Structure 1
Amino acid sequence: MPATTPTWDPSQYLRHADHRARPFADLLARVPALPRDPARIADLGCGPGNVTALLAERWPAAHITGYDNSPEMLAKAEPLAGPTSGGGRLDFAPGDARTWTPSDPYDLIISNATLQWVPGHTDSFPAWVRGLAPGGTFAFQVPGNFDAPSHRLMRELAHSARWKDRLADALRHDDAVHTPAAYLGHLTALGCEADVWETTYLHLLKGEDPVLDWVKGTGLRPVLTELGADAGAFVDEYRAALREAYPATEHGTVFPFRRIFAVARRAA
């Protein structure tokens, strides 16, 4: 069975917006000049649109479309839509990264922390690269922390005797993303000039149970969706395990988070 399709809570997701946006900014900094001006840009898995808006700051004359399959996220993003400062425009539309293919040539196709939700996402790389204008760029970042305590403890609890009947198939597995070398191989095989790297961020989180608060906005969503009103007991068990794995200090709770980045430029 596939992992549970989560119901998203934009407000919960945005509680750690500054930390979540930093990898996108680091990815964006490595995107080269785009081949056309004004550019056509797609953001796959735009979520609440807060980082999509950063694209309009970098390319204010561009036509930028954020695609997402969550009605909740699109509703949160919609107030950001409209004309941009350089005469371009920002809009949002329903779109699922599992099936989306470009209908027009794009100068940039970018995806931020989305492809880990898409089984077999490398199978879509050829169509996405073909959908780039000559000299265009495909760029993405995905979490590389599926073996971290935050995810490992969640999976172990979901497969425990108490929860396995309801949750054994709810979560993604630790192969939801590939190694940096594998991504490099896929992209260079498509004729792209590719730059792939990884970074581990040490987020210093504040508040009570901040790691739990973080994953409630992302990785824990399938559990919360599957269990519904019964999720409280699972969350209590998981909370106790996270407190031990990520002890609070006088300065906050350190949450190491590894991410994998790729920037691939189609030949001009």
Structure 2
Amino acid sequence: MHPAQPVAPTWDPRQYLHHSGHRTRPFLDLLARIPRLPAQDRPARIADLGCGPGNVTVLLADRWTDAHITGFDLSPEMLERAEKDWAGTTRGGGRLDFRQADAAHWTPDEPYDLIVSNAALQWVPDHPRSFAAWIDGLRPGGTLAFQVPGNFTAPSHVLLGELCETPEWRSRLGGRARRRVPVLDPDEYLARLADLGCETDVWETTYRHVLQGEDPVLDWVKGTALRPVLTTLGDDRKAVDHFLAQYRALLREAYPPGPHGTVFPFRRIFAVARKKP
């Protein structure tokens, strides 16, 4: 059997939203550090790169009630859910819409006051190379703000990568677990953004999510890290069930339940870069 060609993961908005409360927390922390936007006598223009199902995009509309906000995502499944739930949502006369775009190639086609991305750029190889174009597309005093997972050395990811590389799965799944990801260390993000002349605020946080239910860590990664694997296995239900059984056993040992639930440490990296006025 020859290794399968790389395929873009198919996203499941319902699965992703299973842990929406925990997934939203980092975005709220990012949102709290975004400075005042340059828009004064006009509505702000905002882009959300990798908007997913739109559940955090609408939080931008809650803060900037008169803004024109566009969520961009490559996944048709995510955009369909976002448009169903949130398109046309108004807050104080604002406008919220969604468009398909690949963040790997997206460049601003008009001046923006804020470009924001929540847990999406880890799927974009060489995304730091886009910083210059994104900053250039901001109005003076505008902001680029993003957060990305920094937990790729955690057991959830390491065990997934090791399982995919076992003799049983290597020919079919080798490389699918994305063990090498394009996320930089915080100091590297700070340097890249400061070199572009931005006032830069970079930090990291490790959350201790307390998850409930049976095999909650497996349920979490089904919405994110497991998507390339599940997409590759496709409709082969027997293979999917067999792989998940093996991975489930590994996760149960790595993340045993406690008296209050299963503790799932999750490191995230944040950056807020303000273009000079």
Structure-2-length-normalised TM-score: 0.95
Any idea what the Cα deviations from partners look like across 1:81-126, whole Å, max 9, x if unmatched?
1151211100001011011000000000000000000011101111
Q: Counterparts of 1:71-220 in structure 2 under 5 Å?
A: 71-79=76-84, 80-220=86-226
**1:4 and 1:171 in contact (8 A); partners too:** no
The verdict on how the C-alpha distance between 1:97 and 1:210 changes in structure 2, with shifts beyond 3 A counting, is same
Greater shift in the superposed pair: 139-148 or 80-89:
80-89
SS in 1 for 2:266: strand
Q: Decide whether the 8 Å contact of 2:193 with 2:273 is kept in 1.
A: yes
Is residue 5 of structure 1 aligned with residue 11 of structure 2? no
User: Partner residue of 2:21?
Assistant: 18
Deviation string, structure 1 residues 150-170 (Cα, Å, up to 9, x no partner)? 000000000111111011122
Q: Is the 8 A contact 1:4 1:169 kept in 2?
A: no
How far the C-alpha of 1:16 sits from its partner, in A, is 0.3
Say if 1:2 and 1:169, in contact at 8 Å, map to a contact too: no
Does residue 32 in structure 1 map to residue 35 in structure 2? Answer: yes
State the distance in 2 between where 1:125 and 1:110 align: 12
Cross-structure match for 1:248: 257
Q: Which residue of 1 aligns with 2:46?
A: 41
The residue identity in structure 1 corresponding to 2:210 is L
- 1: distance between equivalents of 2:53 and 2:5? 25
Looking at structure 2, the residues matched to 156 and 173 of structure 1 have their Cα atoms a distance apart, in angstroms, of 9
3-state DSSP of counterpart to 1:151: helix
Is residue 56 from structure 1 mapped to residue 61 from structure 2 by the alignment?
yes
Task: State yes or no: 1:69 paired with 2:78.
Answer: no
Which whole-Å CA distance do the structure 1 matches of 2:61 and 2:181 have between them? Answer: 33
Deviation at 1:171, TM superposition (A): 2.6
Contact 1:196 1:261 in 2 (8 A): yes
Q: For 2:203 and 2:8, locate their aligned partners in 1 and report how far apart those are by CA, in whole Å.
A: 29
1:186-233 Cα offsets, whole Å, 9 max, x none, are 000100010000000000000000000000000100000001222211
CA apart distance, 1:172? 1.6
* Residue pair 1:34, 1:107 contacting (<8 A) in 2 also: yes
Given the two structures, how large is their TM-score scaled by the length of structure 1? 0.98
Equivalence for 1:233: 242
Counterparts of 2:200 and 2:185, CA distance in 1: 14
Secondary structure, in 3 states, of the residue corresponding to 2:166?
coil
- Structure 1 residues without counterparts, runs of 5 or longer: none
Q: Is the 8 A contact 1:40 1:63 kept in 2?
A: yes
| Residues 121 and 127, structure 2, Cα contact 8 Å, conserved in 1 | yes
- Deviation digits for residues 26-49 of structure 1, max 9, x if unmatched? 000000000014100000000000
| 8 Å contact from structure 2 (residues 127, 182) kept in 1 | no
Partner of 1:232, secondary structure, is helix
* Contact preservation (8 Å) 2:161, 2:175: no
Aligned residue type for 2:80: A
Structure 1 CA distance for aligned equivalents of residues 246 and 120 of structure 2: 27
Over aligned residue pairs, what C-alpha RMSD do you find? 1.2
Higher mean alpha-carbon deviation, 161-170 vs 178-187, is at: 161-170
Identity %: 66
- Counterpart-to-counterpart distance in 1, 2:179 and 2:6: 9
SS in 1 for 2:147: strand
Contact 1:147 1:174 in 2 (8 A): no
Q: Which consecutive aligned stretches of 4+ in structure 1 deviate over 6 angstroms post-superposition?
A: none
Please tell me whether the aligned partners of residues 117 and 146 of structure 2 are also in contact (alpha carbons under 8 angstroms): yes
> Is the Cα–Cα contact under 8 Å of residues 125 and 181 in structure 2 kept in the other structure?
no
Counterpart CA distance in 1 for 2:135 and 2:62 is 24
Q: CA deviation at 1:243?
A: 0.1
